[in-house]
Every structure is written in structure tokens, then in C-alpha cells.
Amino acid sequence: MQTPQPDAHAQGGRCRLCSANDVDALVEELAAELWKYQSVGTLDESPWDQASEYWRHVFRQFAATAVKTMQARH
């Protein structure tokens, strides 16, 4: 698990969500991270770039939904 990062807004900065110029790239990055964490301890620990197109699509949809939800509440 990653160490929590300081709150960018509290320090007068912008968080990753606010500062993303390329939402598609943010979604792709989040999908890859979700994939990495879900596969630990399973029989399929293949890296993101080797995941089937079906699973890449599913995880991109999860990530896009998470980004949209966070943007709406941010």
C-alpha cells in the first residue's frame, strides 16, 4: 500500500484530479493501478499490458466511473 500523500489543496496546490489535462490518460493510469491491486494473490497476476482486451475495457470503465464521480464531488 502506498503512503498517503499530503493534501495538495491544503498546501495551496492542485490534486492529480484537478490538474489532469488529459482525462483519458488519468483513466488509463487508474485502470492500470486498479488492475495491479486486484490481481495480487489471484491466479492471474499478469501485468496490465498483457491483460485481455475484455478486462482492460472493464477496468477502464471502472476507472472512468471513479473519475467522473470524484469530479462531480470535488
Note the pLDDT tens digit of each residue in 6-51.
Answer: 665 556 667 888 888 899 999 999 999 999 988 776 667 789 999 8
Q: Classify each residue of 52-63 as buried b or exposed e, where b means 16 or more C-beta atoms within 10 Å of its C-beta.
A: eeebbeebbebb
Q: How many domains does the chain have?
A: 1
| pLDDT value at 1 more than 60 | no
Residue 45 resides in a domain: yes
Residue 56 resides in a domain: yes
Kindly give the residue spans of alpha helices, DSSP state H, lying in the chain: 16-19, 23-39, 53-73
Residue 32 resides in a domain: yes
Residue 64 resides in a domain: yes
Rounded to whole angstroms, how far apart are CA atoms 66 and 44? 23
What does the pLDDT read at residue 12? 61
Q: 57 is in which domain, residue-wise?
A: 20-73
Residue 62 resides in a domain: yes
Residue 26 resides in a domain: yes
Residue 34 resides in a domain: yes
DSSP-derived letter for residue 48 is G
Residue 12 resides in a domain: no
3 vs 18 pLDDT, higher one: 18
